[in-house]
Amino acid sequence: MAVITISREAGSGGTYIAQRAAEMLGYHLADRGTAVAVMEEYGYSRFEEEFDSRTGFHLERVRSGMERPELRPLVDLLPQISVALANHGNVVILGRGSFSVLGGLTDVLNVRIQAPFGLRVRWFMERQDLEQGQAEALVRERDEVRASFVKSWYGARLDDARLFDLVIDTAKVPLDTAVQWLVEMARTLESKKSEAGRTSRSLQVDPNLAATVSRILGCSRGHH
């Protein structure tokens, strides 16, 4: 059993790499839809609205109880979802800062997918029929939202290569080559079961959350 987390820049091909790697490995793909589904099970139907914005709440104030105390359980739940997904095993986790939660585990491969700004702008121009200025603004906005999310939640910087086991520039590495690398590395991790080290299976997970995650992964498998 192994786990891959993928952090990616918008327009870098990271979503495709995650989907194809999951398919080839026979793993579950846990994307934003997975996190949203779990949150909804716990009564948080506005998860995306609350967190996918640069103008969201002040995280530290929520954690301390000074602001919007009704969101405190939600703040605690998101990293626990990453832990539950990893403990389930055989999963590719896309986004949500999971690399920050799961760093240091011997059976988890933390990957960063990136590409030059101009290449990512062209990706959006071609696939969403945007003008160059529109595409540039979109890429900058998504970069800012993702960087702000990871910084505010986990105190991490997405440009810190030390947080990742592998950083791939898709301007140089073809997408399908990147997929093959991840498949091979996951198989390598799977073969090291007997080696010492802290693994995802040793993580403490709330049984109810574990059951919810397992059920949602099972329901979504056919869609990936």
Residue 191, domain member (yes or no): yes
Among the listed residues 38, 154, 23, 174, the one whose alpha carbon sits nearest the alpha carbon of residue 91: 23
Work out whether the CA dihedral 144, 105, 20, 34 comes out positive or negative.
negative
- What is the count of structural domains for the chain? 1
Domain membership of residue 135 as a residue range: 3-211
pLDDT band at 49, cuts 50/70/90?
A: low
pLDDT band at 125, cuts 50/70/90?
A: very high
Q: What is the pLDDT of residue 1?
A: 82
Please tell me the pTM assigned to this model. 0.86
State pLDDT tens for residues 58-80: 555 545 555 555 566 677 788 89
Q: Give the count of beta carbons closer than 10 Å to the beta carbon of residue 96.
A: 25
Residue 181, domain member (yes or no): yes
What is the distance between the alpha carbons of residues 23 and 148, in angstroms, rounded to a whole number?
A: 30
For residue 207, the domain's CATH number is 3.40.50.300
Among the listed residues 104, 126, 123, the one whose alpha carbon sits nearest the alpha carbon of residue 114: 123
Region of residue 26 (left: phi > 0; alpha: psi -120 to 50; beta: else) = left
Alpha helices in 89-222 (DSSP H): 98-102, 117-128, 132-154, 175-190, 207-220
Residue 221, domain member (yes or no): no
What is the distance between the alpha carbons of residues 118 and 147, in angstroms, rounded to a whole number?
A: 19
Q: Are 90 and 30 in contact (CB under 8 A)?
A: no
SS3 at position 147: helix
Residue 144, domain member (yes or no): yes
Whether the per-residue pLDDT at 137 is higher than 50: the answer is yes
Residue 224, domain member (yes or no): no
Residue 218, domain member (yes or no): no
The C-alpha torsion from 141 through 32 and 15 to 29, rounded to 10°, is 170
Whether the per-residue pLDDT at 17 is higher than 80: the answer is yes
Half-sphere exposure (CA, 13 Å, Cβ side) for 57?
Answer: 23
DSSP 8-state symbol, 3 = E
Half-sphere exposure (CA, 13 Å, Cβ side) for 186?
Answer: 26
pLDDT band at 224, cuts 50/70/90?
A: very low
What is the distance between the alpha carbons of residues 90 and 6, in angstroms, rounded to a whole number?
A: 14
Q: What is the pLDDT of residue 19?
A: 97
pLDDT band at 110, cuts 50/70/90?
A: very high
Residue 220, domain member (yes or no): no
Residue 131, domain member (yes or no): yes
State the chain's mean pLDDT as an integer. Answer: 86
What is the distance between the alpha carbons of residues 134 and 136, in angstroms, rounded to a whole number?
A: 5
Whether the per-residue pLDDT at 90 is higher than 60: the answer is yes
